[in-house]
Chain A
Amino acid sequence: MKNIFLKTTGLIMTGLVIANLFVFISGIVISDEINNFEQKTDNLHKINLTLEKEAANLGSIKFALSQAKEFGFTNSTAPQYIDQLKFAYR
């Protein structure tokens, strides 16, 4: 009787220790995941701000003006008419 009681208690204790270990390790794993997700969220947030900035820069009048200058769309481009032959002979 005493043996059965001791064996049962031993088994229960071992089971509890294993369950405890399992919960403990799972907790650490999930904590790690939470930590990783927090960092990823922060990074995504930072990347989002950077992309938003880049998109706004590309849509800005400043950028359009610089592009216009690069492609020669400026006020200084004087039209030359074909009916003014002196230009045609140049």
Chain B
Amino acid sequence: MKIKFIFLLFIVFYLTIVVRLFFLQVIYSPANKSEYLKTNKLNPIRGRIYDQENQALVLNQNSYQLYVEPKKIEDKDKLLRLLSESLKVEEASISAKLDMSKYWVAIAGGLPQEQKDKIDKLNLKGIGFDYQTKRFYPEASLSAHILGFLGKDNQGEDVGHLGLEGFYDRDLRGLPGFVETERDILGRPILIGVQQRVEAEDGRDLILTIDKNVQEISKNRLLEGLEKYKAKKGCVITADPKTMAILSLVCLPDYDIEKYYLFNENFYKNLAIADLYEPGSVFKPLIVAAALDEKKIKPNDTYNETGQIAVGEYNIKTWNDKYEGKISMTRILEKSSNVGMVYIGEKLGNKKIYNYLEKFGFGQNTGIDLEGEASGYLKPKANWYPIDYATVTFGQGIAITPIQMIRAFASIINGGYLMKPYIVQKIISKNKITEIKPQVERRVVSQMTSEIIRKMLISTVENAEAKWDRPKGFLIGGKTGTAQVPIKGIYDASKTIASFIGFAPANNPRFLTFVILYEPQSSQWGSETAAPLFFEITKDLIVYYGISPSQ
């Protein structure tokens, strides 16, 4: 009798369990699956960005999104008042977001840990925090145009825009993982249940060729230059001419990288890679190098500079309309003679001029690893008139980007190699370090031509018509440029783009720096604006790199 009773008790007990399981697994499934089967997305950590000395330029930091569950609120007025005080936001704007018919409402994102802790202490019912990470910039907006920024796509997912964040978005973002576990009512994993975990693959870190100290020097000097010469905007690019590793790239005005959304999109444009302009006289050494390479001229050949030259219906003259008679090819560069350049262009020939423009990479992307590069425009050969071949010899009538200019210039002083400019030198993932080596695109001029043009450019600085406050004892080569700006097809004489491109130490260049000032008001000439700014930057860089005087 007793055994039968116990047997019956067991039957009832097991039947109860079976019925309960049937309800849980069949009747309520799969709607209630989430109560015990927890699947979480494992977000990868976005890759960080460091300068060439492994100094951080972009990191990630803890951040929280504050949300409210309106159904759980006990005292709405108190909640609004306290949140308004903590977040320093008007009560009305929080109230406007707080839709009481909803179960979950996001109130504010990007809150730092300290602010989260402060709100936590208020012990408010119905609020909570979601953990997020956000970008942190230890050097603030020092390299805004290089770095780009992290925005959101239509699905609310992080997506990199412009600069490195845009170009290397897929490397930086990594791959998400997931974890699926059965949990008990207290959220603890049930060991005999489903346990599946696929780890996230964190984004790759980038090590740049940028030196943040060179970047700082360039930015400060450019800022001073813009104020001093009353220019609208400007850029400074410094590169290693042998490899075209970019050491600094600054354009002003730029934007606050942490609050990019407050700025008009015009501020996002990186002038150094996306702005098309007519380069003016800084272009002359390229044509001279081409003519030297083709053996059409020698540095000491002479040209009789007697006056203006007529090309079709146009008259070409020197910048001051003064003419020196017999001058050497080197002197043409020194005094930046437009008529002398037309003579060199004629010696070189139209076909060769066009070929060299293509060889120098104009009209093509440089392939720099930044999002937003413009390719420039080299019109088809069939559309070139004689006046175009004449004006291009002194850098007018051709639209290029500053990065194309510095790349082409580097090729004539580095032994003749057109290099691909680059900013990222290493990509570091969990198990692998990928090194990005300097890449030769093609040879443009010979080693001999390169050495000759380098000497001519040293002479151009030494014997220039303007006298600059140059660092004493150092050989520096370079060339000024003052380009007129075409507005609706007509050149406005009052608006110029002043520039200077130069390198030091000239016999074995450690750096090549290109300075451009847009529409300077104190003087329209590159020799009186961009050149002094270049020498200020050069003095700082000579000290920074510890370069010894050679003279």
Pair B188/A62 contact, Cβ less than 8 Å: no
Pair B133/A49 contact, Cβ less than 8 Å: yes
A50 to B114, CA, bound (A): 11
Flag whether A61 is at the interface (Cβ < 8 A). Answer: yes
Q: When each residue 14-36 of chain A gets 1 if its CB lies under 8 Å from chain B and 0 otherwise, what string results? A: 00000000000001101110110
Q: When each residue 125-146 of chain B gets 1 if its CB lies under 8 Å from chain A and 0 otherwise, what string results? A: 0000001010010111010000
Q: Which residue from B187, B190, B213, B216 sits with its C-beta under 8 Å from A27?
A: B190
Flag whether B61 is at the interface (Cβ < 8 A). Answer: yes
Interface residues in A21-72 by Cβ distance below 8 A to B read 27-28, 30-32, 34-35, 42, 46, 49-50, 52-53, 56-57, 59-62
A46 to B56, CA, bound (A): 18
Interchain pairs with CB closer than 8 A, number? 54
Flag whether B306 is at the interface (Cβ < 8 A). Answer: no
Q: Which residue from A34, A49, A50, A52 sits with its C-beta under 8 Å from B188?
A: A34
Main secondary structure of the interface of A (DSSP, over half): helix
Pair B191/A61 contact, Cβ less than 8 Å: no
Chain B interfacial residues counted at CB < 8 A: 24
Nearest-neighbor residue (CB-CB) of A32 within chain B: B188
CB distance from A12 to the nearest CB of B (A): 15
A62 to B56, CA, bound (A): 13
Interface residues in B252-307 by Cβ distance below 8 A to A read none
Q: Which residue from A30, A31, A52, A53 sits with its C-beta under 8 Å from B184?
A: A31
A6 to B77, CA, bound (A): 70
A62 to B141, CA, bound (A): 11
CB contacts (< 8 Å) of B61 on chain A: these are 49-50, 53
Q: Which residue from B62, B138, B213 sits with its C-beta under 8 Å from A49?
A: B62
Flag whether B365 is at the interface (Cβ < 8 A). Answer: no
* Given A46-B113, A53-B136, A59 and B56 contact (CB-CB distance below 8 Å): yes
Q: Which residue from A34, A50, A61 sits with its C-beta under 8 Å from B212?
A: A61
CB distance from A41 to the nearest CB of B (A): 12
* Nearest 10 interchain pairs by C-beta: A56-B138, A31-B188, A56-B56, A60-B138, A27-B191, A46-B62, A35-B188, A53-B61, A31-B189, A61-B216
Q: Contact residues of A with B, CB < 8 Å? A: 27-28, 30-32, 34-35, 42, 46, 49-50, 52-53, 56-57, 59-62
| Interface CB pairs A-B, < 8 A, 6 | A31-B188, A46-B131, A56-B136, A59-B56, A60-B139, A61-B216
